[in-house]
């Protein structure tokens, strides 16, 4: 994941192993993404996630090609100066975390593209919804893995909206506005998830990020990922990093 206000210095997905040369945190011991080995996770009871009421309605977003990915941020409405109030709490988060951006990671083909792996399995894409605690500065990211579906009826329509709009952003700095129902985008409901402490997955790869990786994959059509691969970037993911001595928790659904 990345935040839109993070480093603009040059780096590329062609050589992630060199990131620590310029971004020391990237060589740390608590980096993301990781391969989650489900048999080694520790069961934990977390309260349900709570999404703010504005998560349930339509949200006007600006998509930006920042040279590394296409980030969706809240559209700044100059006239009304009102913005939807998107925040989350619960789910083991100690406080309220406010929406910063969401973006998608993908690969050249359907066998790669996710950043996190589950039991060594990669997925064709992974979405990150970045939230920040405005009091502590802590970052919490919700991660969603994708599966390819061949049936347009099964596809999550909100991701079609995203990929169609994002695929028009040919050049770095290009922006486009689009309206998305965030609750449908994320298919918000009580889902099982993994929890661990890691890092931003883009430079500067700052650690201390609270990660939530949901286990119910989101269906997307291959042709929508192809729109992104063809028009924007071919490969947008960091390989998995060592877990070291970190504990990965798995929520227990009663």
Q: Where do contacts with Zn ion occur on this chain (CB under 5 A)?
A: 1, 128
> Which residue, 116 or 250, is less far from Zn ion as judged by CB?
116
How far lies 172's CA from each of 67, 196, 231, in Å? 5, 33, 12
| Nearer of residues 1 and 182 to Zn ion, judged by Cβ | 1
| Least Å from the CB of residue 83 to Zn ion | 22
Q: Token pair of 204, please?
A: 């500067």
Considering the complex, state which of residue 128 and residue 229 has its C-beta at the smaller distance from Zn ion.
Answer: 128
Indicate the residue among 56 and 239 with the shorter CB distance to Zn ion.
Answer: 239
> In whole angstroms, how close is the CB of 9 to Zn ion at the nearest point?
17
Q: Which residue's Cβ has the minimum distance to Zn ion?
A: 1
Q: Please choose, from the candidates 86, 77, 106, 99, the residue with its C-alpha nearest in 3D space to the C-alpha of residue 166.
A: 106
Q: Least distance from C-beta 221 to Zn ion, angstroms?
A: 21
Task: Give the nearest distance from C-beta 21 to Zn ion in angstroms.
Answer: 21
Q: How far is the CB of 1 from Zn ion (least distance, A)?
A: 3
Q: Which is closer to Zn ion, CB of 128 or CB of 250?
A: 128
Residues 6+ apart with CB under 8 A from 142: 88, 128, 129, 131, 186, 212, 214
Beta strands in 30-69 (DSSP E): 35-36, 42-44, 49-51, 58-65
């Amino acid at each position: 994941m990345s935040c839109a206000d993070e480093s603009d210095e040059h780096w590329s997905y062609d050589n992630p192993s060199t990131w620590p040369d310029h971004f020391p945190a990237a060589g740390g011991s608590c980096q993301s993404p990781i391969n989650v080995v489900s048999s080694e996770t520790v069961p934990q009871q977390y309260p349900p996630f709570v999404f703010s009421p504005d998560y349930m309605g339509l949200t006007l977003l600006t998509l930006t090609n920042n040279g590394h990915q296409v980030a969706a941020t809240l559209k700044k409405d100059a006239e009304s100066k009102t913005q939807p109030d998107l925040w989350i709490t619960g789910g083991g988060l100690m406080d309220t975390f406010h929406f910063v951006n969401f973006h998608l990671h993908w690969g050249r083909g359907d066998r790669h593209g996710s950043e996190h792996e589950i039991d060594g399995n990669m997925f064709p894409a992974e979405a990150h919804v970045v939230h920040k605690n405005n009091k502590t500065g802590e970052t919490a990211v919700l991660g969603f893995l994708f599966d390819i579906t061949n049936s347009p009826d099964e596809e999550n329509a909100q991701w079609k909206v995203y990929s169609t709009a994002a695929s028009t952003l040919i050049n770095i700095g290009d922006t486009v506005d689009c309206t998305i129902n965030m609750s449908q985008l994320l298919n918000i409901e009580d889902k099982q998830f993994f929890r661990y402490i890691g890092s931003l997955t883009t430079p500067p790869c700052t650690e201390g990020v609270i990660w939530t990786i949901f286990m119910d994959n989101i269906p997307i059509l291959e042709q929508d990922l192809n729109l992104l691969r063809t028009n924007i970037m071919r490969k947008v993911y960091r390989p998995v990093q060592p877990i070291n001595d970190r504990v990965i928790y798995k929520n227990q659904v009663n």
